[in-house]
Structure 1
Amino acid sequence: MKRIAIYHLETLLWIARLGTFRAAAERLNTTQPAISARVREIEEQLGIAIFRREGRNMVLTARGRRLVQECEPLWAGFEKALLTASGFEGASGVVRIGSGEIAAASCLPGFVHAIEQDLPGVTLELELDLTARMFQQLLGGTIDLAFLAGPVASPGIRTTPIGSVGLVWAASARTAAAGGFANALPVWSIPDLSPLHGVTMETLEANRVTPRSIGTCNNVRTLIDIVTGGGGAAVLPEPMVRPLLEAGILAEVLPPPARKIRFEVAIRNTESDPLVLELFRRASELRIDGTPD
């Protein structure tokens, strides 16, 4: 029987998923030469070519593709059996999570704390980004789990709704007292890849408001700072500005948009890593602040 170690199979599966030796090395916390050596060992043991190079990517040969297809469920089953037997107490590894700012400001801190308490061997790598980019990163395998502004529909993605967030049209209290939109205010928004931008444009039209200008910024907290400083008005997530509204620092300058921003937790449809699936299960039980679906 060929002497193939468990780490050989793990290496093979991650190269197949991520497309490059370098990405697999980063994922497995090792070096690219070590990954190359493992591949050579597998190919020498089996006497076949598993990958061929196409540009920067490593593409599976026909025999390599069959090997991956047959080994992936075996690997997932092996991992799941070990983790289930220990109640996930001995779980270890790195899980990469993408999140938008709104989710990061509401349910994500509690989720991270619970994982650190229950699964101390698991390392989380968090990255904040816009939904459109996280969607592509998830499909590309560079993140494992994402908190997305939805609804998201894709045959490659599996999602579960985790609630929604109400929105408000806000400006500084001084700006509102001076007449608000009666004075052709500048408007600020997240760029057009975000659902927040769509709500902004829809409600401006519905209220027949023509702003002086529409500026964009890809950071919600910076938008809040701009508006608080008297820089104009913006559609903002109500939970993130609730303390400022209650303190009288911000004020509403148009009726609240009827449309809310829905949130979903997402993984790849083909995800088989038991640890990622367990975190997806836990994340699916979360609820975004204050407005359950």
Structure 2
Amino acid sequence: MKRIALFHLETLMWIDRLGTFAAAAQRLNTTQPAISARVREIEEQLGVALFQREGRRMVLSARGRRLVQASEPLYHGLEQVLLEASDFAGATAAVRIGSGEIAAASCLPAFIQGIERDRPGVTMELEIDLTAPLLQQLLAGTRDIVFLAGPVASPGIRTAPIGSVELVWAAGAAVAAAGGFAQGLPVWSLPEHSPLHAVMHEGFEAHGINPRALHTCNNVRTLIEIVATGQGAAVLPETMVRGALAAGTLHEILPRPAQHVHFEAAIRTRERDPVILDLFARASRLTIDPSANSV
């Protein structure tokens, strides 16, 4: 019988998923020469070439792809059995989480707290970004699980809805007292690929608004600070400005948009890592606005 270790198969699977030896080395916390050595070892054991060169890239051969496709469910099945036998107590992994800012400000803290409590061997790498980049990162294999605005429709993505948030047209107290849009107000927004940007334009049409200027910023908290200091108006997630509205530092200057922004947790359809699947199951039980459950 060929002497092939589990780490050999794991190496092949990560190369297949991430596309390069260098990316697999980074994911497995080792070096590119070590990854190359593992590939040579398994090729020597099997007596076949598992990779072929295409330009500057090394890609799996037909036999290599078949080996990965056949081995992946077996490898992760064994992982699942071992982790379930220990009730996941010994689960160790470096999980790369991506999140939009709205999710990060609401349901993500509880998600992280649960992982730290129940899966102490799991380390987390968290990155905050907009929906479009998060989706690209997930498909490219550089994020394991993401929280983003949906709905997302992709054959490579598996999603679970985690609720929605209302949006509000808000401005600072002085702007609201001066009549809001009556004074030719500048408007601030997230970039155009954000769902908030689309809602903003629909609001312009619905209310006959022609703003003096339209500015963009890719950070919601910064938008809130800009608007609160009287520098314009913005469509903002109600969950992130609820306190400011209650305190009077922000005021609603138009009726709330009918559209809500829906959110989803997402992983790759091909994901088989039992730790990631466990975390995805946990994520599917979250809600983007925890207070909505108490109403």
Q: TM-score range by the shorter chain?
A: over 0.9
In the other structure, the counterpart of 1:99 is 99
Distance 1:261 1:76 in 2: 35
In the other structure, the counterpart of 2:37 is 37
> Offset of 1:291 from its aligned partner?
6.8
In the other structure, the counterpart of 1:248 is 248
Aligned runs of 1:165-180 on 2, under 5 Å? 165-180=165-180
Structure 1, gaps ≥5 residues long: none
| Amino acid corresponding to residue 78 of structure 2 in structure 1 | F
Q: Deviations over 1:105-131 (max 9, x none)?
A: 000011001101100000111111111
Q: Deviations over 1:167-203 (max 9, x none)?
A: 1100000111011100110000001111010111111
> Offset of 1:290 from its aligned partner?
4.6
| Amino acid corresponding to residue 252 of structure 2 in structure 1 | E
> Offset of 1:56 from its aligned partner?
4.4
Q: How has the CA–CA distance of structure 1 residues 56 and 88 changed in structure 2, closer, same or farther, with 3 Å as cutoff?
A: farther
Distance 2:62 2:111 in 1: 41
> Offset of 1:53 from its aligned partner?
2.6
Structure 2, gaps ≥5 residues long: none
Q: How many corresponding residue pairs?
A: 293
1:111 aligns with 2:111: yes
Aligned runs of 1:51-66 on 2, under 5 Å? 51-66=51-66
Distance 1:283 1:169 in 2: 29
Q: Deviations over 1:124-180 (max 9, x none)?
A: 111111111111111111101110101111111111100000111000001110111
- Is the contact made by 1:171 and 1:228 (CA closer than 8 Å) also made in structure 2? yes
In the other structure, the counterpart of 1:49 is 49
1:14 aligns with 2:14: yes
In the other structure, the counterpart of 1:164 is 164
> Offset of 1:292 from its aligned partner?
5.4
Distance 2:13 2:156 in 1: 18
SS in 1 for 2:253: strand
In the other structure, the counterpart of 2:262 is 262
SS in 2 for 1:254: coil
SS in 1 for 2:240: helix
- Supply the RMSD in Å over aligned alpha carbons: 1.2
SS in 2 for 1:14: helix
In the other structure, the counterpart of 2:210 is 210
Q: Deviations over 1:73-100 (max 9, x none)?
A: 1101111111111111110011111100
Distance 1:52 1:125 in 2: 32
Q: How has the CA–CA distance of structure 1 residues 248 and 292 changed in structure 2, closer, same or farther, with 3 Å as cutoff?
A: closer
1:234 aligns with 2:239: no
| Amino acid corresponding to residue 42 of structure 2 in structure 1 | I
In the other structure, the counterpart of 1:148 is 148
TM-score in terms of structure 2 length:
0.97
Distance 1:36 1:112 in 2: 35
Q: Deviations over 1:36-92 (max 9, x none)?
A: 111111111111111123244321101111111111111011111111111111100
TM-score in terms of structure 1 length:
0.98
- Is the contact made by 2:186 and 2:213 (CA closer than 8 Å) also made in structure 1? yes
> Offset of 1:276 from its aligned partner?
0.5
Distance 1:252 1:125 in 2: 36
| Amino acid corresponding to residue 40 of structure 2 in structure 1 | R
In the other structure, the counterpart of 2:276 is 276
- Is the contact made by 1:164 and 1:292 (CA closer than 8 Å) also made in structure 2? no
Distance 2:143 2:19 in 1: 14
- Is the contact made by 1:165 and 1:291 (CA closer than 8 Å) also made in structure 2? no
